[in-house]
């Protein structure tokens, strides 16, 4: 496994270089002048604009800007945010820690709920329980996440007054208080994932339940619970795991909507702000970081396959 991990990481280097080139080109292709955004939209003064372009290095030809960025990148320096003056590397890690906390808790919660729910729905296929689960998941999938988040805020923040509606306290800062700030965003994200994963788990389980080895397990008199957990679950979970990997990478790359609704200082919010503010160093750094997240997440999912599917070998 060690060799596999090292090889995969080495293989990701050319991928990241190609991504870096694409990121630089795409970011520079964005319409709009970063210097104008830096000046808060004040473009009455061409001399000031020119001064700002010089400060940002935007007066240089694109190849020169690219080489300068790459040189800094290889020396481990992602640059300085032109919006806030903070080092981009530190900024990304700070924001990623917020996103990762919310996403990992949400995914864990979603798995805990959706796996048994999907198995149950499959086990009671075409029963009222199955219909109820299917209808509820479709209902949730039909709701925009922005609206669900807002409704959670209104209910638990404004009406019941149980949980805070704005702000963020990290767990390391104050664990107890931090938990209260995490409950709503984690719930909001988890609800979305529960809907998707439950349907995935249900479909996978239904397919597995029709296999001969399940009929055989039942015929030899195994209790239904054992049939479900020992035989159906491991075989049905592999496709769900793929889904988990894709969803996890996507969410770690920034759950921008959730972060905006719950005023979380996460990676997604940072990315959106950097696009609107034309904060090139942050935008480029964040996109590269997101590419890295996808590489690492996919690697971890590939490793996780070996635990659920004995046919998979890491070579």
Partner 1 sequence: MKKNTRIFATLFAATVIGCAPAGAVMAQSVVHMALNADIRGTNPGVTRDGNTDIIHAQFVEGLVTYGKNFEVIPMLADSYDVSEDGLTYTFKLRHGVKFHNGEEMTAKEVEWSWNRLAGEASESHCKNYFNGENGLKVVSAKAIDDYTFEIKLDRPYAVFLATIARFDCGSMGVLHPDSVNADGSWNAPIGTGPYVMGEHLPGRYVELNRFADYVSRDEPMNGLGGGKHAEVDTLHFDIVSEGAVAKTALMAGDLDLVALDAMAASELKDQPGFKVDITQSAVWDTYLLNPNDPVLADVRIRQAMAHAIDPNQIMAAITEGFGKASPSPVPPMSKNFTEVEAEYPAYDVELAKTLMKEAGYNGEEIKILATRRNGAYYERALMAQAMLMDAGFNATLEVVEWGTQLEAYRTGEGYTMQSFSFSPRLHAGLSFEMFTGDDVRKAWQDPEAIALVQESLTTRDPERLQAIIDELSRRFNEQVPAIGLGHRMLFTGMSDRIEGFEDWGAGVLRGWMLRTSN
Contact positions toward partner 1, by CB under 8 A?
Answer: 30-33, 36-37, 39-48, 51-52, 55, 83-86, 91, 95, 150, 153-154, 157-158, 160-168, 174-177, 179-180, 183, 260-263, 265, 269-270, 273, 276, 278
Q: How far apart are CA 47 and CA 53, in angstroms?
A: 10
Q: DSSP assignment, residue 161?
A: -
251 by DSSP, 3-state: which? helix
Instruction: CB nearer to partner 1: give 45 or 224.
Output: 45
Q: Min. distance of Cβ 231 from partner 1 in angstroms?
A: 35
**What stretch of H or E contains 63?**
helix 62-74
Q: Are 4 and 280 in contact (CB under 8 A)?
A: no
Instruction: CB nearer to partner 1: give 170 or 306.
Output: 170
3-state SS, the chain, equals CHHHHHHHHHHHHHHHHHHHHHHHHHHHHCCCCHHHHHCCCCCCCHHHHHHHHHHHCCCCCHHHHHHHHHHHHHCCCCCECCCCCCEHHHHHHHHHHHHHHHHHHHHHHHHHHHHHHHHHHHHCCCCHHHHHHHHHHHHHHHCCHHHHHHHHHHHHHHHCCCCCCCCCCCCCCCHHHHHHHHHHHHHHHHHHHHHHHHHHHHHHHHHHHCCHHHHHHHHCCCCHHHHHHHHHHHHHHHHHHHHHHHHHHHHHCCCHHHHHHCCCCCHHHHHHHHHHCCCHHHHHHHHHHHHHHHHHHHHHHHHHHHHHCCCCCCC
Task: Give the tokens for residue 310.
Answer: 């004995």
Q: Min. distance of Cβ 114 from partner 1 in angstroms?
A: 22
Q: Min. distance of Cβ 167 from partner 1 in angstroms?
A: 5
Instruction: CB nearer to partner 1: give 147 or 307.
Output: 147
Q: Min. distance of Cβ 35 from partner 1 in angstroms?
A: 10
Instruction: CB nearer to partner 1: give 14 or 41.
Output: 41
Q: Min. distance of Cβ 254 from partner 1 in angstroms?
A: 13
Instruction: CB nearer to partner 1: give 50 or 224.
Output: 50
Q: Min. distance of Cβ 24 from partner 1 in angstroms?
A: 18
Q: Min. distance of Cβ 284 from partner 1 in angstroms?
A: 16
170 by DSSP, 3-state: which? coil
Instruction: CB nearer to partner 1: give 44 or 212.
Output: 44
Instruction: CB nearer to partner 1: give 181 or 233.
Output: 181
Q: Min. distance of Cβ 57 from partner 1 in angstroms?
A: 14
Instruction: CB nearer to partner 1: give 178 or 239.
Output: 178
């Amino acid at each position: 496994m060690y060799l596999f991990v090292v090889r995969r990481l080495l293989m990701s280097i050319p991928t990241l270089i190609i991504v870096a080139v694409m990121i630089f080109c795409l970011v520079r292709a964005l319409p709009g002048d970063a210097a104008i955004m830096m000046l808060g939209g004040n473009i009455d003064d061409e001399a000031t604009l020119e001064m700002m372009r010089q400060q940002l290095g935007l007066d240089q030809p694109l190849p020169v800007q690219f080489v300068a960025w790459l040189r800094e990148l290889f020396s481990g320096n992602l640059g300085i945010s032109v919006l806030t003056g903070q080092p981009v590397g530190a900024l990304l890690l700070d924001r990623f820690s917020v996103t990762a906390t919310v996403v990992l808790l949400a995914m864990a919660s979603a798995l805990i709920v959706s796996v048994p729910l999907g198995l149950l729905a499959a086990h009671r296929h075409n029963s009222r329980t199955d219909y109820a689960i299917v209808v509820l998941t479709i209902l949730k999938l039909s709701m925009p996440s922005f609206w669900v988040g807002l409704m959670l805020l209104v209910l638990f923040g404004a009406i019941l007054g149980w949980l805070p509606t704005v702000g963020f306290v990290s767990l390391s800062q104050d664990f107890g208080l931090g938990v209260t700030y995490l409950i709503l965003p984690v719930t909001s994200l988890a609800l979305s994932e529960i809907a998707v994963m439950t349907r995935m788990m249900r479909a996978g389980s239904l397919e597995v339940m029709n296999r001969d080895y399940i009929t055989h397990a039942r015929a030899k008199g195994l209790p239904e619970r054992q049939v479900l957990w020992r035989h159906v679950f491991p075989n049905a979970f592999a496709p769900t795991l793929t889904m988990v990997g894709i969803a996890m990478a996507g969410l770690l790359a920034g759950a921008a909507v959730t972060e905006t609704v719950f005023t979380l200082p996460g990676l997604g919010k940072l990315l959106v702000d950097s696009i609107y503010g034309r904060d090139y160093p942050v935008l480029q750094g964040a996109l590269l970081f997101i590419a890295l997240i996808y590489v690492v997440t996919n690697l971890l999912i590939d490793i996780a396959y070996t635990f659920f599917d004995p046919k998979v070998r890491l070579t």
